[in-house]
A and B are shown apart, each in its own frame.
Chain A
């Protein structure tokens, strides 16, 4: 009886997983067909195969460079966020500061104000006064400010959940706190750090308005900004360029996914079970 139920359960879960996979895969079809179509439309269809669209996008003076800029800005922000958030999360996790959870949540709430459209003027004026307009650094620092609270919030949870016994023994052997963090804690939460890094990259990768407003020189513009240049004066997207560029511009994050996934796995918390 229970065996039958078990088999039925397995079948049901397999069907469900297949449906979920189809649901998540379906929208991505367009990205696989339109860039190779001589006359792409919003409809997914078997393409009238061509590579001309790729040739056209390579002729665009800013397209490829912009993906490099995205890498600099998203990579820079992710590195900054992961390092600073890990340090802060560790400190907040291990040392009791009164009201730390409330403070963290307050910062999290404020980050929602700053990432909204209404904060444009303060952010721009701040960047102007700090001489950060038209620099990669300006973009990196501004987006990092918005991402840090959530990163600390999540990482602190991980750190809270890791056992402290190893740290204690390392301390007995005379390791400094920074060494303990680097050699004991980081390895345990590494998949989590990798996931936060990917999250940060994905967040910065798609960001448009802030990047557009802070940058002047198109040689520094990230892909998200260049994607919008592929529209006509009346605001119509040039679908052959837009779809092809979308594919090229998505590739780095897909590669990053494959790399992180094969190396660290996408998991929160460490491999140690409590």
Chain B
């Protein structure tokens, strides 16, 4: 998974001390993550609700919540929207733009690079609730900045193009992480190798594919795994579109919120959360496979 440095025990840690180093983190994770997560998975097997009779006396329903979810058109639509959201904003948007920025700025120094980096990073660290206001102000159909700039008064971006809107939004929101990761990764590509390839007549695409990609594969994997996972669980678009109009931007985290918090169906919501985990796993396996296959192509 990581760039291939042989992980020898250089500091003479030994098994015992390694366990001692990792233990505090593992204990905290065990108590505050694994335990509630397993409890949540268990809740997914019940009809538990926040209020009403099922709150007092939840019953085991086995796989009932799962069959209900899989049979629910709204859930399946939501899965499809989420896949679009992840591919569009995490893979093409964040990873693509992040890599492009890292590539363009790799041998740039000075104020331009600092300015671009500062803006990209700011959009990453501003609080979500504030960011939602910023984007509503940008995309609003009556007084939105975008309509004023484009001279398209009344264009309802969030209503007529909800998915593209939140995809662009999430690209804006999260590109910083990919940009930083790829900037670091590109430092591992010796300029001389690129030069050699260029002199040998390789096109830019060929250079990227044959010289750059093999050296940053580990970073690409880390990048797509993490950004996909984060995007799969990103609730901020709710603040922009509330999942609408008519559920046309109801991605899975919004679906879970509506089901668990608005409707109070905590058991069902827990089951859907577990399904999100499974979908993530499928994505992860696909990434692993894709990048492993690439490795077999001789560089």
Tell me whether A91 and B105 are in contact in the complex, defined as CB-CB below 8 angstroms, given that A107-B34, A112-B232 are known contacts: no
Q: Is the CB of B9 within 8 A of A148?
A: no
Q: State whether the Cβ of A223 lies closer than 8 Å to any Cβ in chain B.
A: yes
**Of the residues A27, A30, A177, contact of B12 by C-beta under 8 Å:** A177
Q: Is the CB of B28 within 8 A of A141?
A: yes
Q: State whether the Cβ of B257 lies closer than 8 Å to any Cβ in chain A.
A: yes
Q: State whether the Cβ of B79 lies closer than 8 Å to any Cβ in chain A.
A: no
**Of the residues A21, A24, A157, contact of B218 by C-beta under 8 Å:** A157
Residues from chain B with a CB closer than 8 A to the CB of A149 are 29, 33
CA A148 – CA B134 in complex, angstroms? 30
**Of the residues A109, A120, A142, A154, contact of B32 by C-beta under 8 Å:** A142
Nearest Cβ in chain B — how far from A162, in angstroms?
8
Q: State whether the Cβ of B127 lies closer than 8 Å to any Cβ in chain A.
A: yes
Tell me whether A110 and B33 are in contact in the complex, defined as CB-CB below 8 angstroms, given that A96-B7, A161-B2 are known contacts: yes
Residues from chain B with a CB closer than 8 A to the CB of A110 are 33-34, 37, 277
CA A65 – CA B281 in complex, angstroms? 42
Q: Is the CB of A113 within 8 A of B28?
A: no
Q: State whether the Cβ of B21 lies closer than 8 Å to any Cβ in chain A.
A: yes
Residues from chain A with a CB closer than 8 A to the CB of B31 are 126, 141, 145
Tell me whether A44 and B29 are in contact in the complex, defined as CB-CB below 8 angstroms, given that A112-B280, A119-B36, A224-B127 are known contacts: no
Tell me whether A94 and B13 are in contact in the complex, defined as CB-CB below 8 angstroms, given that A17-B112, A28-B134, A42-B143 are known contacts: yes
Residues from chain B with a CB closer than 8 A to the CB of A243 are 133
Q: Is the CB of B3 within 8 A of A117?
A: no
Chain A interface secondary structure, helix, strand, loop or mixed? helix
Q: State whether the Cβ of B120 lies closer than 8 Å to any Cβ in chain A.
A: yes
Q: What residue of chain B has the Cβ atom nearest to residue A202's Cβ? A: B125
Residues from chain B with a CB closer than 8 A to the CB of A120 are 260-261, 266
Q: Is the CB of B273 within 8 A of A144?
A: no
What class of interface size applies to chain A in its complex with B? 35 or more
Q: Is the CB of B188 within 8 A of A253?
A: no
Chain B interface secondary structure, helix, strand, loop or mixed? helix
Most buried by A among B121, B146, B222, B226: B121
CA A98 – CA B35 in complex, angstroms? 23
Q: Is the CB of A168 within 8 A of B10?
A: yes
30 contacts between A and B (CB under 8 A): A16-B104, A26-B145, A28-B122, A28-B123, A88-B25, A91-B21, A95-B9, A109-B229, A109-B284, A112-B233, A115-B233, A117-B253, A117-B257, A117-B260, A118-B273, A122-B37, A149-B33, A154-B226, A177-B13, A177-B17, A202-B124, A206-B129, A206-B130, A224-B129, A250-B126, A250-B127, A253-B125, A268-B184, A273-B187, A274-B188
Question: Which 10 pairs, one residue from A and one from B, show the smallest C-beta to C-beta distance?
Answer: A145-B32, A43-B143, A164-B10, A160-B2, A206-B127, A91-B21, A122-B39, A88-B25, A167-B10, A268-B184
Residues of A in contact with B (beta carbons under 8 Å apart): 13-14, 16-17, 20-21, 23-31, 34, 41-45, 80, 84-85, 87-88, 90-97, 101, 105, 107-123, 126, 141-142, 144-146, 148-150, 152-154, 156-157, 160-165, 167-168, 170-171, 177, 180-181, 184-185, 195, 198-199, 201-202, 205-206, 208, 223-224, 227-228, 242-243, 246, 249-250, 253-254, 256-257, 261, 266-269, 273-274
Q: A109-B229, A113-B41, A148-B29 are in contact. List 7 more A-B contacts (CB 8 A).
A: A88-B26, A95-B13, A107-B29, A112-B229, A126-B36, A141-B31, A148-B28
